Amino acid sequence: MNKIAVVTGGAGGIGQAVAERLATDQCSVILLDINDDAGNQVVADFRKRGVEVIFLCADLSQEAQVEATFAKIKSSQGRVDILVNVAGGSMHRHKFEDFPVKNWQAVIDANLTSTFLCCRAVVGMMKAQKSGAIVNISSDIAFSGSENRSAYAAAKAGVLGLTKTLALELATFGVRVNAVAPGRIDTPRVRASYTESDWQEANKRIPMGHPGAVEDVAEAVAYLASDAAKHVTGQTLHVNGGRIMH
């Protein structure tokens, strides 16, 4: 039986790579994203390569939309075996004393609240199944901090605390919960926040000398979601070229 995998933020660079990687493991993949046009384009692009995925549009920071979306998945698929929470982003950057509360809340909701809501939506199913794997995407910034990105650092650190707590609560039910903490990954969205000279200079600060690729994150996710990691829970796998060793 194919495993049912749900990937949030599925229209983004990392989300697409995770979806494609899980599909090679014979998973039936459902992508969730707030961007309807981008999500449908991803489905069309995948189909051209012979990969069939399902896309559902939802704002995952909104409780009612998350509950309705996962109810639809449960009704159509009957189960969820893998949940990968990729949705998020740093979005707003301000000096701490100038950080507007509405922008702070938007970053927390996009990264942490969405992860909480999606995890909560599948926990009942996974406990009943006595199996399941959740992989939450954090960031190396959860460990290092980052100037003018206090909300993002706090949200991604919160994802780690949530991951460990869920791992403890679900361990006796055969459900595993882990995190991946990417460093700088070469995606169009990340690249757009740098000038070319700043990008090259930033890469020099990575011991391996270059940023990661989306496939690097996808491979880490695939391992943690697979039976190869059946005795791994509550852990964070770092994918950062040696920038942070923890």
Domain positions in the chain are 4-184+217-238
How sure is the predictor about 157, in pLDDT bands with cuts at 50, 70 and 90?
A: very high
pLDDT tens across 17-32, in order? 999 999 999 999 999 9
- Fold of the CATH domain 4-184+217-238: Rossmann fold (3.40.50)
Average pLDDT, the chain: 94
Q: Is the pLDDT of residue 187 over 90?
A: no
Q: What is the per-residue pLDDT for 233?
A: 98
| Angstrom distance (rounded) from CA 226 to CA 136 | 14
How sure is the predictor about 59, in pLDDT bands with cuts at 50, 70 and 90?
A: very high
Most confident of 86-95, 138-147, 225-234: 225-234
* Active-site annotation holds for 152: yes
Torsion of Cα atoms, 58 then 82 then 10 then 208, to 10°: 140
Identify the three-state secondary structure at position 72: helix
The answer to whether 113 and 155 have CB atoms below 8 angstroms apart is no
Structure tokens at 141: 């910034």
CB neighbours (10 Å) of residue 8? 29
The answer to whether 133 and 180 have CB atoms below 8 angstroms apart is no
Contacts of 231 (CB under 8 A, 6+ apart): none
Q: Is the pLDDT of residue 66 over 90?
A: yes
- Phi, then psi, of 175 in degrees rounded to 5: -105, 130
Contacts of 32 (CB under 8 A, 6+ apart): 6, 7, 8, 9, 10, 55, 56, 57, 58, 60, 69, 87, 118
Where helices occur in the chain by DSSP H, the ranges are 13-24, 36-48, 63-77, 101-108, 114-129, 141-144, 150-170, 188-191, 196-204, 214-225
Q: What is the mean pLDDT of residues 138-165?
A: 94
Q: How far is CA 128 from CA 80, 119, 123, in A?
A: 11, 14, 9
pLDDT tens across 74-88, in order? 999 999 999 999 999
**Catalytic residue selected from 70, 116, 143, 152:** 152
How sure is the predictor about 1, in pLDDT bands with cuts at 50, 70 and 90?
A: low
Range from 9-18, 89-98, 134-143, 159-168 carrying the lowest mean pLDDT: 89-98
